[in-house]
């Protein structure tokens, strides 16, 4: 393939990822007058953000007027064991309400209180009802709203210029394999179209990473197939820094049966709306796992915990609403002690807590999910749940105010791919607000970078040739390593050695295996053509994982 065979584009800003963070960044850059390309690995609208169910954490005080940004900041820091980047946590707590109101202004249809305000629900680790929600489909509504706003901007350009995509274009089903660096600064990105395998180049002085997480490195995960650590790896290869990568969150409640649906998320909203966790003996076990630091905030009897739902001012919270890491460890301990459910989890019961119609109204997705995938009616019987790899707190080290990647001018990161905001553990609901707050900040950070007056480096043919050679390497190798075999072994290794509870000997064994995988990946061979070749896709995903 020659340079003339490469599909080429030139933009001011390239956004990799079309979830909440990527779309919000794109809007910010476009509304500032710059030309923007949005690149998504799957179809537009299929980003993993749609799987976020519970809500958007924002201290609006609609349900409890005592809530404010300082309390939200404190909850976030405490949930992250105080190793969060405090400035990121501060900005997030202060700006989240404005981002929610902005979404509503753009057309988001939030659930309402009796007074007509945006409804807010309880979630683990949050002192007050704080999550603005749309039933249990909040992420889907967020993406729908952002997509409509993107289309509205395109329609405006169509009226003015006669071309809807002249200033803002979406490139679907494109995988980016390299951020192109010239003289230490970002100058564009290189990749291929997933359908045809044809190569594609985007020249741009500003690149925003919004690629999500790393869940497909694990055997049991709530993440979609896209969660292969692409942005983390792109930043690292480009000269950026990663922080806090040891902190991987296991959501306490994922589906565990049947095997085909193992890992699919069971929203924290079930517990926020009254659901309780019990073991095989019928015991509500979370009262046995309240850490000392949380004992002043969490009830130690079932009677007080149940009273809290109606009188939060005079009672402490149910321990089912402890931060996710605490609940996941408790479930893991119960299962290891032999008190688990038949399929290796515990029971999550909302059927005995709320009327059937109330469950269907508040948790429509959960009712359909269990009915269709597991033939379980959650209005009649408890669910079987267990921990599932859900979120990585670590990521690209960024400047808190501009989301600029440390060490790489012109590179920015927002959302799950960026590290620091959540410390060692993310509170539920803080992800969607994180996407909006720092997606916007990445957008205006890129705008400020483009406006700073400095001369931006130009892309050279040598850099393009290097990216082209790397993309074609798997077809030329003769090592014979199968990417599917390595991926299965990687997932089994993380499952066995890098789980919820970690010990030194297992981590050391995992490091030995990972080094072995790195060597073997260099010999991965792809057979067949470029079109519709999943082995080709996995070869590059493996390098990132």
Considering 149, 271, 317, 440, which one is annotated as catalytic?
A: 271
Is 130 annotated in the active site?
no
Pair 272, 414 in one domain: no
CATH number of the domain at 299, please: 3.90.700.10
How would residue 54 be classed by pLDDT, with cut points 50, 70 and 90? confident
- Domain-located, residue 457: no
Cα distance between residue 124 and residue 366, in whole Å: 18
Of 421, 450, 479, which residue constitutes the final position of a domain? 450
How would residue 5 be classed by pLDDT, with cut points 50, 70 and 90? confident
Pair 437, 483 in one domain: no
pLDDT tens per residue, range 388-433? 999 999 999 999 999 999 999 999 999 999 999 999 999 999 999 9
Q: Whole-model pTM?
A: 0.92
Which of residues 529 and 29 earns the better pLDDT score?
Answer: 29
Cα distance between residue 127 and residue 119, in whole Å: 16
Is 368 annotated in the active site?
no
Considering 251, 441, 468, 530, which one is annotated as catalytic?
A: 251
Pair 377, 432 in one domain: no
Q: Which long-range contacts (CB under 8 A, 24 or more apart) does 289-292 make?
A: 289/319, 289/322, 289/326, 289/327, 289/329, 289/330, 289/333, 290/319, 290/322, 291/322, 291/326
Is pLDDT at 1 greater than 80 in this prediction? no
Q: State mean pLDDT over 157-171.
A: 97
Of 349, 364, 387, which residue constitutes the final position of a domain? 387
Pair 285, 317 in one domain: yes
Pair 29, 45 in one domain: yes
Poorest-confidence range of 84-88, 134-138, 378-382?
Answer: 134-138
Measured in residues, the chain has a length of 545
Pair 267, 376 in one domain: yes
Q: Domain count for the chain, please give it.
A: 3
Pair 183, 40 in one domain: yes
Amino acid 51: pLDDT: 84
Surface-to-core class of residue 115, CB atoms within 10 Å of its CB (0-12 exposed, 13-18 middle, 19+ buried) = exposed
Pair 435, 475 in one domain: no
Amino acid 522: pLDDT: 92
Q: State mean pLDDT over 125-147.
A: 95
Pair 234, 266 in one domain: no
Pair 221, 142 in one domain: yes
Pair 97, 240 in one domain: yes
Amino acid 480: pLDDT: 86
Amino acid 294: pLDDT: 92
Pair 147, 163 in one domain: yes
- Domain-located, residue 380: yes
CATH number of the domain at 533, please: 1.20.58.100
CATH number of the domain at 170, please: 3.50.50.60
- Domain-located, residue 464: no
Q: Which domain holds residue 497?
A: 470-544
Amino acid 175: pLDDT: 98
């Amino acid at each position: 393939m020659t340079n003339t065979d490469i599909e080429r584009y030139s933009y001011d800003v390239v956004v990799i990822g079309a979830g909440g963070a990527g779309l919000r960044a794109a809007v910010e850059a476009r509304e500032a007058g710059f030309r923007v390309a949005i690149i998504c690995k799957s179809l537009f609208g299929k980003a993993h953000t749609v799987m976020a169910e519970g809500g958007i954490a924002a201290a609006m005080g609609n349900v409890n007027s005592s809530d404010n940004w300082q309390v939200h900041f404190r909850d976030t820091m405490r949930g992250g064991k105080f190793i969060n980047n405090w400035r990121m946590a501060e900005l997030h707590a202060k700006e989240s309400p404005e981002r929610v109101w902005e979404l509503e202004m753009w057309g988001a249809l939030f659930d309402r209180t009796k007074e007509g305000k945006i409804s807010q629900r309880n979630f683990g680790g949050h002192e007050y009802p704080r999550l603005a929600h749309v039933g249990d489909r909040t992420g889907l509504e967020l993406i729908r709203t952002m997509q409509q706003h993107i289309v509205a901007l395109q329609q405006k350009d169509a009226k003015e210029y006669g071309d809807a995509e002249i200033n803002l274009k979406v490139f679907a089903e494109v995988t980016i394999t390299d951020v192109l660096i010239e003289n230490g600064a970002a100058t564009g990105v290189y990749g291929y179209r997933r359908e045809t395998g044809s190569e594609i180049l985007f020249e741009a002085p500003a690149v925003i990473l919004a690629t999500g997480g790393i869940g497909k490195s694990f055997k049991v995960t709530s993440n979609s197939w896209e969660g292969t650590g692409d942005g983390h790896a792109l930043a690292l290869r480009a000269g950026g820094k990663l922080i806090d990568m040891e902190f991987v969150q296991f959501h306490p409640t994922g589906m565990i049966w049947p095997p085909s649906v193992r890992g699919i998320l069971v929203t924290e909203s079930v517990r926020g709306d009254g659901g309780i966790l019990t073991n095989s003996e019928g015991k509500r076990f979370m009262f046995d796992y309240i850490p000392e630091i949380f004992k002043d905030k969490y009830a130690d009897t079932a009677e007080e915990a149940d009273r809290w739902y109606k009188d939060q001012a005079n009672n402490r919270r149910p321990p089912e609403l402890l931060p996710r890491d605490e609940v996941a460890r408790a479930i893991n301990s119960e299962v290891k002690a032999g008190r688990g459910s038949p399929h290796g989890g515990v029971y999550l019961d909302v059927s005995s807590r709320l009327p059937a119609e109330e469950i269907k109204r508040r948790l429509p997705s959960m009712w359909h999910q269990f009915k269709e995938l597991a033939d379980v009616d959650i209005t009649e019987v408890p669910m079987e749940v267990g921990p599932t790899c859900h979120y990585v707190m670590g990521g690209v080290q960024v400047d808190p105010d501009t989301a600029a990647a440390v060490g790489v001018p012109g590179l920015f990161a927002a959302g799950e791919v960026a590290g620091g905001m959540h410390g060692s553990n993310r509170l539920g609901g803080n992800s969607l607000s994180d996407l909006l707050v720092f997606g916007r900040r990445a957008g205006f950070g890129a705008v400020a970078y483009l406006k700073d007056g400095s001369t931006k480096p130009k892309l050279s043919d040598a850099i393009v040739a290097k990216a082209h050679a790397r993309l074609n390497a798997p077809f030329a190798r003769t090592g014979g390593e199968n990417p599917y075999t390595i991926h299965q072994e990687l997932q089994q290794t993380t499952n066995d050695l890098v789980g919820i509870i970690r010990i030194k000997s297992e981590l050391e064994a995992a490091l030995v295996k990972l080094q072995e995988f790195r060597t073997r990946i260099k010999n991965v061979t792809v057979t067949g053509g470029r079109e519709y070749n999943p082995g080709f896709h996995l070869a590059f995903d493996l390098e990132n994982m």
